[in-house]
Amino acid sequence: MIIIASDVHVSKSYDHIQSVLPKQIDFLNPNNNLRLLVSRMKKEDTLVMNGDTIDYYYSDYTHYFKKKGNNWEIAKNILKKFKGTVLFNTGNHEFRKMPYNYSIYGLNHMN
């Protein structure tokens, strides 16, 4: 089976936000959506990541200034559990370096 996933937007920030929110808040964490997809796939499946696999490159502002730690590492850790074929297209978010500044934009635009 060929599965096409687009605009997944994996980001360390989503796991962090989910960890600090009260449990009764229903937060749509894109990382968990990819984890669920991977857990349901079979080895003979092919996954096509059709752009915007990550939300931005560096996983937070600290990592940007140190030039280490990025959201591709998180995506690869999720995807390595899938033993089938993974194909990638790039989107505009793969080229964004910095995370959103939630102190300026807030969380209202996320879900």
Percent of the chain with pLDDT over 70: 74
Residue 99 pLDDT: 61
- Distance separating alpha carbons of residues 69 and 57, to the nearest angstrom: 9
State yes or no: pLDDT of 68 exceeds 60.
yes
Model confidence over 9-50: pLDDT tens digits? 998 888 888 888 888 888 889 999 999 999 999 999 999 999
What DSSP line would sit under 37-78, residue for residue?
HHHH--TT-EEEEES--BS-SBSSHHHHHHT--BHHHHHHHH
Model confidence over 4-17: pLDDT tens digits? 999 999 988 888 88
